[in-house]
Amino acid sequence: MLFRSVIAVEPSAAMRSTLAEATAAAGLENVEVHDLTWPPSADAEAPTGDVSLAANVLYDALDLHGFLAAMEARTRRACVVLLSDRAPSTPDPVIWEALYGEPLHALPGLRELLAVLGALGRRFEVVTYPVGPARPVSLDDALEQTRWRYWVQIGRAHV
């Protein structure tokens, strides 16, 4: 066991259920899950820990400074953020503009986070990892993923 305990904060009931299933399947008994939004409200009893991890949640954070400040306030040693240069669901800008006749306004990614951290005077370290090849999917799954990414439904006009 690498960690004595893991504390997860997850506001989504579906994701809490998925996490519970995954931890049970892995035989992990050291994961504590909290039904909280982040950053937590002022009156919420939010957990603290040695290390905090935010993985792929900052792309659409409305209050980035508040999110990060709450992580820092409840973390004793290190805050870790996993983020790509863009949200994983980001459509291709050329296809988006062809479909909707307007430029894509993509969610912020790693570059924007680094700019905010710099503006806030925070110390940070960037470590990059190569992304492996995409796993093969069926044609039907690829079409469904593409419809979802571009907000296109069968039988409905896209504009």
Tens digits of per-residue pLDDT, 6-15?
Answer: 889 888 899 9
What pLDDT, on the 0 to 100 scale, is given for residue 131?
A: 85
What pLDDT, on the 0 to 100 scale, is given for residue 92?
A: 93
Strands (E), 1-151: 6-9, 31-34, 49-55, 75-82
Average pLDDT over residues 63-73: 90
Strand partners, 78: 51
Average pLDDT over residues 2-23: 89
Strand partners, 81: 54
Average pLDDT over residues 15-40: 91
Q: Among 36-45, 50-59, 135-144, name the most confident range.
A: 135-144
Q: Is pLDDT of 159 > 60?
A: no
Cβ partners under 8 Å of residue 65, min gap 6: 116, 120
What pLDDT, on the 0 to 100 scale, is given for residue 139?
A: 95
* pTM tops 0.85, yes or no: no
Q: Using DSSP, state whether 64 is helix, strand or coil.
A: helix
Closest CA to 146 of 84, 106, 90: 90
> Would you tell me how many other CB atoms lie within 10 Å of the CB of residue 140?
8
CB 124 within 8 A of CB 117: yes
Compare 43 and 82 and report the one with higher pLDDT.
82
